[in-house]
Structures are given as C-alpha cells and as structure tokens.
Amino acid sequence: MTNISLLKKLKFSLRKTKEKLISNIKDIFIIKDKKDDVLKKLEYNLINSDINIDVVKNIIKGINRYNLNKKNIFPIVKEQMVNLLKPISKPIVFSKYKPFIILLVGINGVGKTTTAGKISWFYKKQNKKILLVAGDTFRLAAIEQLRIIGKNISIPVISQNIGSDSGSLVFDAIKSAQAKQIDLVVIDTAGRLQNKLFLMNELQKIIAIINKLTNNNIFEIILVIDANTGRNAINQVTNFHKYLNINGIILTKLDSTTKGSMIFNISNMFNIPLRFISTGDCIDDLQLFEPNRFVNALFD
Ligand SMILES: Nc1nc2c(ncn2[C@@H]2O[C@H](COP(=O)(O)OP(=O)(O)OP(=O)(O)O)[C@@H](O)[C@H]2O)c(=O)[nH]1
Ligand SMILES: [Mg+2]
C-alpha cells in the first residue's frame, strides 16, 4: 500500500477520535485571546480528550517556547505531538536467527487472534515463510478461528486438540518451523486477566520453552491492547510487562473508539515500542505505527 492510501485508511479509522479531539480544541486555532489564555484553553481541552494531565503539560510546555499566531499554532501543536510519539515508533527488527518468533498476549477479546492473522499477512507480503500457532487451546472456537484465518491467507496453522498443553504445542511448532526453514512463527494465546498469576505462569512457561529452543535469541512478546480500553490500558501494560517483559505493543480497534488519543498516554508512561496499529476488521487493516502519519490523520 502507498503512503497516501495508508494515511487515507488511518484518517477514516481515526474519525471518531478526531471528532472528539477537534471539537474540543478547534476554537484554539482562532487566536483572539492572549497567549496565556490560549494555552489554558488548550490544556483544558486536551485533558478533556482523554490525554493525561502530565502529557498535556508536556505539550503545553513545548508550545510555550514559541510566539504563537494564527498561522503557526496548528503546526506547532502537531509537532509537539509527533515529538511525544517518536520514542515509541520502532518497528520490529528480525534477528538473524530463524525462525523469528512473535508471541501475542493480552486480555480477552482485544484482538489477538485476528491480529495474528494480520501480522502474518503483513509479513507474507514481504515474502516471508510463515507458520501460525493456535496457542489458545482452551476453546475449540479459537482453534477454528485461526484455522480459517490461515486458510484464507494460505498460511499453515499448527494446532492441537482442545485442552492440550499450550507449552508442548509451542515446542512442537518451533521444532517443525526449524526443520522447515520457516522465517516467522506467530503464536496466538488465550486471553487472560493481567492479575491472574497462574495464567501469567503459563505464558512464562511458553516463553521459557521458546528461549530454550532458540538459544535465548531475541524474539518478540507483544501485548495487544484494545484502543477502547481507556485508563485500564495502563494497568494492562504495567502488569503484563511485570510478568513477561513485553517488548512491543499493538493497539487495535482504533476505528471503533473515540479514545485513540490514549496512544499519547502509553507513549508517555512506558518506553515500549508501539509496533503496529490496527485500523479495522479486514486482513489488510494493520499498519506500522508512524507518528507523523498518526498526527496528520488526527488533524487534517
Ligand atoms: N473494528 C475492529 N474490530 C476488530 C479489530 N481487531 C479485532 N477486532 C474484532 O474484535 C473481536 C475480537 O477479536 P479476536 O481477535 O477474536 O480477539 P482475541 O483477543 O483473540 O479474543 P480472545 O481469544 O477471546 O481473548 C473480533 O470480532 C474481531 O473481528 C479492529 O482493529 N477493528
Ligand atoms: Mg483469540
């Protein structure tokens, strides 16, 4: 997809978030008041748009350095926002070790299984040889769901019977991938609450198995978060990170929320890369997170 069509898609996806943000701050851009009043208004309205106070204070501090006028205020606000998001804009770098592994974790219903399909499709278009693993062995429907996704995009899916041990499934899958010179193994897992220790232990066991089979080579543990989550997202990141040491985040369902601005809060609180954002329910609706594109989509 071209950059223009990615921007177009993202704009459409972010329309609800944008409506809220713009309706809150649009008066700001018609400067009549004194600078201090403009900044106060902007601060108040950004906080009303689901952006945390300390993030907003950062934005205001950045803007305060400039002499504001009707022409420059808009680009300056955008620039501050892009700067805030830059630290978490780091795409996944595959290690030389084959297969590279992506493990998807997160609470129930956030979009792990569909995202497993979208990621696989994303890399298949880059000619990578991929294997999907149905690590959610709790529900038959979950296994079936991934099988169907795999079939639609012609990517093999490794699964076992319902109720079987996800650790041994992952072991078999990686062994098989190593034998077949697979480039990328994408592992789906069952949804779980971040405060249920025994469920976190199960993921830790899977991670230990991966480490052992790959000689502790770097791989990717991604927390999938639903953009509708709001404040609880911070809680999810904190806890999953505590137990699993996640190295990436994917934000889903940006198309169905007014709360897309929460991205600024995540960026501000954690130095964890936002690997991808999901912009809809089709297999193609996954894009690399690009701060400029994101902020442009919010404002243009
Ligand atoms: N609109 C929209 N829907 C999405 C997006 N991502 C996922 N969904 C939908 O969200 C629902 C849940 O997605 P799943 O991928 O099954 O979620 P999950 O995390 O695997 O769920 P569990 O396995 O039950 O924990 C499905 O109906 C998806 O189609 C997105 O970016 N936009
Ligand atoms: Mg699932």
3-state SS string for 59-117: HHHHHHCCCCCCCCHHHHHHHHHHHHHHHHCCCCCCCCCCCEEEEEECCCCCCHHHHHH
Are 14 and 296 in contact by the 8 Å Cβ rule? The answer is no
Q: Are strands 248-252 and 130-134 parallel, antiparallel or unpaired?
A: unpaired
What residues are neighbours of ligand 2 (ion), with CB under 5 Å? Answer: 112-113, 142
Distance 17 CA to ligand 2 centre (A): 26
Closest CA relative to residue 110, chosen from 259, 267, 234, 278: 278
Distance of CA 98 to the CA centre of its chain: 24
Predicted local confidence at residue 31, as pLDDT: 61
* Share of residues in the chain with pLDDT > 90 (%): 77
Q: Whose CA is nearest to atom 13 of ligand 1?
A: 111
Is 0.85 topped by the overall pTM?
A: yes
Q: How confident is the model at residue 240 (pLDDT cuts 50, 70, 90)?
A: very high
Residue 54, CA distances (Å) to 46, 57, 271 in order: 11, 5, 15
The Å distance, Cα 181 to ligand 1 centre, comes to: 30
Distance CA 71, CA 81 (A): 17
Check residue 69 and give its pLDDT. 82
The finding on whether 278 has its CB within 6 A of some atom of ligand 1 is yes
Range of weakest confidence among 29-33, 111-115, 188-192, 219-223: 29-33
Q: Which residue has the tokens 């000619």?
A: 127
The predicted pLDDT at position 197 comes to 85
Q: How far apart are the first and last CA of the chain?
A: 20
